[in-house]
């Protein structure tokens, strides 16, 4: 027997309702009636009560271990999907189906950030994203084919807590005169805490971690209590990565930021960490559904994946590189740099070295701009601005003096 699914129907015409990002409310796709979330939730409650009176079953389909079957409430077709799917589309009537069991009990999210961009706006962002890249191959623009664009509510764990800090640094203040360089060495000790809130880690095995990291940050001041009325019109997945399994990703980020911010409190010319103890204490773990437009494009026998933050519009995705264009750009930069240095110094060796260095910088910088997808290593957006220090001490240790090399005088 297939499990239950829900489509929220319009009380005016019986048509399917979906969440409209442009108006921020539920909207009927047939009669254009608009309803607040509170009104939609009441319709949803009444609809559920009617379904229960009809005796709708709640059993899973007798399928493979990782597949489930549900009944489409619009056309009655059986929908087959994997066990983590929480909202999908019926392959027969194309209506979005919300699978209630994925949002109940312990699997119910705490919060949601609704979509703020439509599919059409996401496609415009995609076009603007690749058209601005000068190093993209011409036939990517003309020959690539968008295979799929989906608005997906991606499951995320959000972590709150603090970092206890006990660190020691070697610091130095540097001065110099005509004959020597003088460095005053200090031992700097710092103890304190820094808090963090809503550090995100996606909880879906299917979503690439680096792409999800690259669409950050989300504005978590706009978190709303979870309601299934935000789901119609979009796809959704239930988490399949447990919260404890994502802790390591979050911990690396908050520790890296804690180190950076603690080091910034040592006000000397040179600072090197000699010892650091950073203990992460978690106070809360929240489960949220966050909006992502996910787009796949095929070109040159390869699939290219892109994503857009459905709340902020941040777009990301690696792009192919036209190495002929990159070579020309690198060559021009190297020639210009070498020519300028030769005119200034009249030294061929200096000019060649400068040309090589500038060429390498331009090559890797330009190539890197086409490959922005990355794993997040910091959590600056989700942490306090400053460390709350409870102990700070800078002890003078010694003075080091180094004689300057004397240049030969020419007459």
State how far the Cα of 334 lies from the Cα of 355, in Å rounded to an integer: 4
> Quick check: 148 and 296 in contact, CB under 8 A?
yes
For the chain, give the mean pLDDT.
Answer: 83
> Among the ranges 158-167, 219-228, 348-357, which has the highest mean pLDDT value?
158-167
* Whether pLDDT at 191 is above 80: yes
Mean pLDDT in residue range 394-398: 95
The alpha carbon of 169 is separated from its chain's Cα centroid by a whole number of angstroms, namely 32
Residue whose C-alpha is closest to residue 98's, from 5, 18, 17: 5
- Residue found under tokens 């911010």: 261
Predicted pLDDT at 299: 86
pLDDT tens digits, one per residue of 273-308 = 999 999 999 999 999 999 999 988 888 888 888 999
Predicted pLDDT at 189: 97
Mean pLDDT in residue range 148-166: 92
State how far the Cα of 144 lies from the Cα of 139, in Å rounded to an integer: 7
State how far the Cα of 362 lies from the Cα of 208, in Å rounded to an integer: 29
Mean pLDDT in residue range 119-141: 86
> Among the ranges 140-144, 177-181, 285-289, which has the highest mean pLDDT value?
285-289
Task: Choose between 107 and 284: higher pLDDT.
Answer: 284
Structure tokens of 240? 């399949």
Total-model pTM: 0.78
Q: pLDDT confidence of 344, banded at 50, 70, 90?
A: confident
């Amino acid at each position: 027997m297939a499990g239950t699914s829900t489509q929220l129907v319009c009380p005016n015409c019986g048509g399917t309702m979906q969440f409209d990002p442009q108006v921020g409310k539920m909207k009927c796709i047939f009669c254009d009636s608009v309803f607040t979330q509170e009104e939609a939730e009441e319709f949803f409650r009444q609809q559920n009560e009617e379904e229960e009176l009809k005796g709708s079953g709640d059993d899973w389909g007798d399928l493979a271990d990782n597949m489930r079957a549900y009944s489409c409430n619009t056309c009655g077709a059986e929908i087959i999907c994997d066990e983590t799917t929480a909202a999908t589309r019926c392959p027969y009537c194309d209506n979005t189906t919300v699978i209630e069991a994925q949002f109940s009990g312990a699997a119910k999210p705490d919060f949601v950030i609704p979509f703020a961009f439509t599919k059409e706006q996401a496609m415009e962002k995609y076009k603007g994203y690749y058209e601005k890249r000068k190093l993209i191959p011409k036939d990517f623009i003309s020959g690539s084919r968008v295979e799929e664009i989906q608005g997906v509510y991606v499951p995320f764990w959000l972590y709150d807590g603090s970092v206890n800090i006990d660190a020691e640094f070697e610091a130095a203040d540097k001065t110099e005169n005509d004959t020597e360089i003088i460095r005053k060495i200090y031992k700097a000790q710092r103890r304190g805490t820094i808090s963090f809130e809503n550090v995100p880690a996606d909880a879906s095995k299917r979503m690439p971690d680096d792409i999800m990291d690259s669409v950050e940050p989300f504005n978590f001041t706009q978190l709303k209590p979870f309601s299934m009325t935000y789901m119609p019109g979009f796809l959704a997945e239930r988490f399949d990565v447990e919260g404890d399994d994502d802790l390591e990703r979050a911990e690396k980020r908050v520790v890296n930021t804690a180190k950076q911010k603690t080091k910034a409190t040592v006000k000397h010319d040179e600072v090197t960490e000699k010892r650091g103890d950073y203990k992460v204490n978690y106070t809360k773990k929240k489960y949220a559904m966050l909006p992502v437009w996910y787009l796949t494009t095929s070109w040159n026998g390869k699939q290219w994946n892109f994503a857009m933050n459905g709340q902020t519009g941040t777009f990301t995705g690696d792009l192919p590189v036209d190495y002929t264009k990159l070579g020309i750009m690198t060559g021009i930069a190297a020639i210009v740099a070498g020519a300028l240095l030769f005119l200034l110094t009249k030294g061929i060796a200096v000019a060649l070295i400068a040309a090589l260095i500038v060429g390498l910088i331009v090559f890797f910088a330009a190539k890197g701009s086409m490959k922005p997808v990355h794993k997040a290593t910091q959590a600056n957006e989700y942490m306090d601005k400053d460390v709350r220090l409870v102990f700070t001490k800078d002890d003078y240790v010694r003075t080091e003096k180094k004689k300057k090399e004397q240049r030969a005088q020419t007459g």
